[in-house]
Chain A
Amino acid sequence: MKSALDQRNRAAPVLTRWIARRPVVAFVVVFAVFPFVVPYKALATQVLIYGLFALGFNLLYGYTGLLSFGHAAYWGLGAYGTGIALAKLKVGSLWLALGAGLGLAVLGGAVIGFFCLRRRGIYFAMLTLAFAQLLYFVGFHLADWTGGDDGLRGIDVPPLRLPGITIPLDTSLAFYYFAFGLVALAVAALKRILDSPFGAVLQAIRENSGRAAACGYDIGRVKHLSFVFSALFAGLAGALDALRLNVVPIESLYWTTSGQVVIMTLLGGAGTFFGPFVGAATFLVLEDRLAIFTESWPLVIGAIFMAFVLFLPKGIWGTLLARFGA
Chain B
Amino acid sequence: MPELTLATLVAQVFTGLVLGMILVLLAIGLSLIFGLMTVVNFAHGSLYMLGAYLGFFLIGYTKSFWLALVVAPLLVGAFGFGIERFLVRRLYGRSIDDPLLLTFGLSLVMIEAARLIWGKIGLTLDPPRELAGAVDLGFTYFPLYRLFVIGVTVVVLLALYLFLEKTNVGLIIRAGSRDPLMVRALGFDLGRVWLLVFGIGAALAGLAGILAGPMRGVYAEMGVTIVIESFVVVVVGGMGSLVGAIVAGIVMGEVVSLTTLFAPKFAEIMVFIVMALVLLVRPSGLFGEAGLME
Chain B residue numbers with a CB within 8 Å of A189 are none
CA distance A119 to B283 in the complex (A): 7
Chain B residue numbers with a CB within 8 Å of A5 are none
- Min CB distance B95 to A, Å, is 8
Contact among B116, B228, B234 for A296, CB-based, below 8 A: B116
Does B94 interact with chain A (Cβ within 8 Å)? yes
Q: Is A119's CB under 8 angstroms from B235's CB?
A: yes
Query: Which of B60-68, B96-104, B171-179 lies at the interface with chain A?
Result: B96-104
1/0 per residue, CB under 8 A from A, across B55-96: the answer is: 000000000000000000000000000000001001100101
- Min CB distance B68 to A, Å, is 26
- Min CB distance A233 to B, Å, is 20
CA distance A130 to B107 in the complex (A): 17
Count residues of chain B with CB under 8 A from any CB of chain A: 45
- Min CB distance B104 to A, Å, is 6
Helix, strand, loop or mixed for chain B's interface?
A: helix
Count residues of chain A with CB under 8 A from any CB of chain B: 36
Q: Nearest residue in A to B98 (C-beta to C-beta)?
A: A309
Q: Is B40's CB under 8 angstroms from A126's CB?
A: yes
Q: Is B101's CB under 8 angstroms from A309's CB?
A: yes
Q: Is B40's CB under 8 angstroms from A306's CB?
A: no
Does B294 interact with chain A (Cβ within 8 Å)? yes
Chain B residue numbers with a CB within 8 Å of A69 are 100, 104
Does A122 interact with chain B (Cβ within 8 Å)? yes
CA distance A299 to B113 in the complex (A): 7
Does B14 interact with chain A (Cβ within 8 Å)? no
Q: Is B109's CB under 8 angstroms from A303's CB?
A: yes
CA distance A266 to B38 in the complex (A): 21
Chain B residue numbers with a CB within 8 Å of A122 are 34, 38, 40, 96-97, 100, 239
CA distance A161 to B102 in the complex (A): 46
Contact among A67, A129, A309 for B231, CB-based, below 8 A: A129
Chain B residue numbers with a CB within 8 Å of A302 are 105-109, 112
A303-318: which residues lie under 8 A (CB-CB) from chain B? 303, 305-306, 309-310, 313
Does A10 interact with chain B (Cβ within 8 Å)? no
Does A192 interact with chain B (Cβ within 8 Å)? no
15 A-B pairs besides A125-B97, A298-B108 with CB distance below 8 A are: A67-B101, A115-B276, A122-B40, A127-B275, A130-B235, A131-B276, A133-B225, A141-B265, A259-B104, A299-B112, A299-B116, A302-B105, A309-B91, A309-B101, A309-B102
